[in-house]
Structure 1
């Protein structure tokens, strides 16, 4: 069994090790070591990455997972059993993960303490970290929890990881304890704050988390999903958001604190322009329909109207087809370009015998497109060739 150094010393960045097995995977290989500093993905936390160094050779470790009690260091190339290596983690990745995971504990404690909401789900990705809560929480409660988490970070409270019997762990836990756990379990305790069972990596002091920033909250099932980042990743996202906001402020020629008012003003202006455009579009549709019906001759009891428009919206094309089909003898086909595709709308008056469903099938076959509809109306599109 591989000795898990990462559970004993989260700050250790490398260790000597011996290859005890090399498993061929679907893509690449899984290297098993007698001891490792690499944390395998699990419990919502991403795995470490890094490299295995043997002499002048460096084998990159892209992912680590634990399967059937064995820790597999995933690589693109194999290593022979008995090979001595220096296992070295990517420290920045480890530190980022420790910041996120510790921040999750601080927030989970806050939501439990302030809101009575339990953490029922935790997921970490390279872009964002999420917590799923057992009940809905308000924006005011979220602000309180974020403030408490950052206060505990600023106070630089010590963090201790300790193995203990499940019975003792149940008494130490500040949040809900899993009664199904038995035997020896690992408890992570933040002084005066969170204490729960956890096999993840955490810094020795809360100050190393830097900060916690909640970016979004949304309803999820019967509760709330919280989106957040900590430390370096939080600062990077805040900086990117601030650059975008600063650019918007300059474009709108407003003060920083007026960004919301500026956006609301733009929304009002856009709404007004859309209403004017819609009115102009309707007038165009009515006039265009009148001209087409007037200029199209009746042949074998049908007014076959085929129209190709370059500068027309999808909504205008549908409206025009509907207005034209109010004439019982109109057989309408409208082509227009949008989104890099050629689009077509078909409509038929009540006295036209050939259905739009049959006509669009023929057009799809000819143009290699897709779409469908009813006997009196259909629409589809195809790639421009």
Structure 2
């Protein structure tokens, strides 16, 4: 069994160890040691990285009591090696993990929201809460968390039997009654207490700060994304740089960017609406021209093909009542925008027929999906370059019925 030096001294950066086993697997070498400072991935925390005798350790895992250091080169059994952590990586892992403890505690303490999920990767950290919190509530939890950090409170690790640990359950935000035997308890002074196998800084001040990035509804509660320590600082630096660039481009102050963008959006939308109004007015005129020029079937029904380039399903919806007012007609409308074709078939005033037959022709031609009723049917497909040709082919097929 490997002695886990990291469990009682999270600041220990290196140690001398003896290689007890080495086996090749998937191009890497699983090295076991008599003792280690490397934390194996587990409990939501990513593993440490570093070097063993100058050989890169890219990942560390634990299975059935064995700790495997995944190395890029083999090491001889019996060899003494220096195990050296990649300290910035270890510090980052500890900051994110303890940040999760304290932020979860804040959400539980202030709003009775329980952490039911914890996820950490190289870019972000999330917790899943069983209760949906508002933006204002999360800001309060964030401030409460950072006040604990700035107090630089001690973080302690204790081992106790489950029969003793159960006496603390009223002080713990979560207690697993199924755990038995000796438990590892991580405590933040006058704050979070929970069972945990991970590494944590000995004082909260080593976190620096915790910043909530975003949140969203998730399974009846909410998922909160946050960053701690150096990650939080780099994220803030990046976003501040972007904000300053946007402000400079808009010739305004950073704090006025939202107001300035809202005005630009409103002006742009007004121009877009005016242009769309002109486009639809022209399309309506074109519809009448297409109706006048449309071929007439033996039963007196006119088949009208109406292409709408640069338009979408909303524009078709606008023209549907216009097409329905055309006497003794069946109108096929096709709107084409990059990546999407929308189409519809509508019977005109006093017309007899079934639009579902024509929508089937369109579905077959475009490889799309659609349906509807006898007097009106709609569908759509992915964009295709020959959409106009397919529209007229379907119109000819409908006219030949």
For structure 2, list consecutive stretches of 5 or more residues without a partner in the other structure. 387-401
- TM-score, scaled to structure 2: 0.80
The range that moved more, 142-151 or 304-313, is 304-313
Paired with 2:307 and 2:168, the residues of 1 have a C-alpha distance of 74
Query: What SS is found at the alignment partner of 1:202?
Result: coil
CA drift at 1:238:
1.0
Paired with 1:98 and 1:128, the residues of 2 have a C-alpha distance of 14
Q: Is the 8 A contact 1:136 1:223 kept in 2?
A: yes
Paired with 1:240 and 1:372, the residues of 2 have a C-alpha distance of 44
Residue 51 of structure 1 corresponds to 51
- Structure 1 segment 272-287 matched on structure 2, within 5 A: 272-287=270-285
Residue 370 of structure 2 corresponds to 373
Query: What SS is found at the alignment partner of 2:216?
Result: strand
Paired with 2:141 and 2:219, the residues of 1 have a C-alpha distance of 21
The range that moved more, 194-203 or 156-165, is 156-165
- Structure 1 segment 165-244 matched on structure 2, within 5 A: 165-172=161-168, 174-176=171-173, 177-244=175-242
The range that moved more, 292-301 or 199-208, is 292-301
1:363 paired with 2:361, answer no
1:250 paired with 2:251, answer no
For structure 1, list consecutive stretches of 5 or more residues without a partner in the other structure. 365-369
Residue 397 of structure 2 corresponds to none
Query: What SS is found at the alignment partner of 2:179?
Result: coil
CA drift at 1:168:
3.1
Q: Is the 8 A contact 1:329 1:352 kept in 2?
A: no
Residue 103 of structure 1 corresponds to 99
Paired with 1:316 and 1:357, the residues of 2 have a C-alpha distance of 18
Paired with 1:143 and 1:44, the residues of 2 have a C-alpha distance of 24
How many pairs does the alignment contain? 373
Paired with 1:184 and 1:69, the residues of 2 have a C-alpha distance of 15
CA drift at 1:282:
3.0
Deviations 1:303-335 (A, max 9, x none): 455566654445335655775466554363636
Paired with 1:373 and 1:216, the residues of 2 have a C-alpha distance of 38
Paired with 2:205 and 2:313, the residues of 1 have a C-alpha distance of 55
1:351 paired with 2:353, answer yes
1:293 paired with 2:295, answer no
CA drift at 1:224:
3.2
Residue 158 of structure 1 corresponds to 154
Paired with 1:40 and 1:82, the residues of 2 have a C-alpha distance of 22
Residue 64 of structure 2 corresponds to 68
The range that moved more, 73-82 or 208-217, is 73-82
Q: Is the 8 A contact 2:19 2:75 kept in 1?
A: no
Paired with 1:166 and 1:30, the residues of 2 have a C-alpha distance of 33
Q: Is the 8 A contact 1:285 1:316 kept in 2?
A: no
Residue 32 of structure 1 corresponds to 32
Residue 145 of structure 1 corresponds to 141
Query: What SS is found at the alignment partner of 1:374?
Result: strand
Paired with 2:277 and 2:239, the residues of 1 have a C-alpha distance of 37
- Structure 1 segment 16-31 matched on structure 2, within 5 A: 16-22=17-23, 24-25=25-26, 28-31=28-31
Residue 392 of structure 2 corresponds to none
CA drift at 1:213:
1.1
Deviations 1:144-196 (A, max 9, x none): 32222222222222222122222333445632322222221111122232222
Cα gap change, 1:203/1:329 in structure 2, threshold over 3 Å: closer, same or farther?
same
Q: Is the 8 A contact 2:161 2:183 kept in 1?
A: yes
Deviations 1:213-234 (A, max 9, x none): 1122333334333221111000
Paired with 2:356 and 2:228, the residues of 1 have a C-alpha distance of 64
Paired with 1:331 and 1:105, the residues of 2 have a C-alpha distance of 63
Cα gap change, 1:61/1:356 in structure 2, threshold over 3 Å: closer, same or farther?
farther
Residue 367 of structure 1 corresponds to none
Paired with 1:10 and 1:149, the residues of 2 have a C-alpha distance of 22
Cα gap change, 1:86/1:355 in structure 2, threshold over 3 Å: closer, same or farther?
farther
Superposition RMSD in Å = 3.2
Query: What SS is found at the alignment partner of 1:175?
Result: coil
Cα gap change, 1:318/1:34 in structure 2, threshold over 3 Å: closer, same or farther?
farther
Q: Is the 8 A contact 1:187 1:198 kept in 2?
A: yes
CA drift at 1:299:
5.0
